[in-house]
Amino acid sequence: MQAIRRILCPVDFSDASANALGYAERLATSTGAELVLLHAFDIPASLTYADIGNPSDPNIGSQLETLPLSSTETRVTRILHAGSAGEVICWLAQERECDLIVMGTHGRTGLPQQQAAQSGKPIILFFTGKWCVPCRIMKRNVWADEQVTASVNAAFIPVTIDVDDPDAAAALSRYSVGATPSTIITDPQGNVLQQKEGGMGKADFLELLGKLNPAAINDL
């Protein structure tokens, strides 16, 4: 079993990205995890090995390096990489052994579906809000638990969605989310397999996961 050690947060310098970064940093602080900030940029016309991490526009690198964090104690790694955002995110999450991906809701359902399609794993959508007390309790007592982390990483693709993010409207509408926290498990195509509104303790959460993949729970 393992705790959350590394959180990947893709950034594109948009408002949605900034909201996701704020949540990712708070989660990293509460769990002691390393925060990996990633910006994927367009592949240059004449790509060499040196260009993989060096965009033609130097301002992109400056934006990433100066992206502000709320605490100087946050352990952060900043990475630039050329390529399709979806492909780079999926590759880096595996390369750096990231335990969680936190990103803005713009395109959020598409990228996890790409990763899920590659792995064949269902997707866990966790709808939360900064003001939501039961959400904070679940993050602290459930999501940060070592057994839960191991179970999720073994058989699912986890995605956190902040309902206060303006770009979350499409996901909220698609899944008819009316309360926080809401936990929705979908197949790689986004079809709902399990849906639960309200807070859950560790035992109830693991039971929900076990309905779809008993082996991921029983093997721990």
Q: Could you tell me how far CA 220 lies from the centroid of its own chain?
A: 23
| pLDDT tens, residue by residue, 65-115 | 999 998 888 899 999 988 877 778 888 988 999 988 887 655 455 556 666
Q: Are residues 3 and 109 in the same domain?
A: no
Q: From residue 198, how far is each of 5, 95, 182 by CA, in Å?
A: 27, 34, 6
Q: What is the pLDDT of residue 20?
A: 85
| Number of domains within the chain | 2
Q: Are residues 120 and 97 in the same domain?
A: no
Round to whole Å and give the CA distance between 117 and 21.
Answer: 25
Mean pLDDT for the chain overall = 83
Q: What is the pLDDT of residue 76?
A: 95
| pLDDT tens, residue by residue, 111-164 | 566 666 666 789 899 999 889 999 999 999 999 898 998 888 888 888 888 888
Q: How confident is the model at residue 220 (pLDDT cuts 50, 70, 90)?
A: very low
Angle, helix 110-119 to helix 85-95, in steps of 10 degrees: 50
The residue segments making up the domain with residue 83 are 1-104
pTM over 0.75: no
Q: Are residues 4 and 49 in the same domain?
A: yes
Here the tokens at position 158 are 């986890």
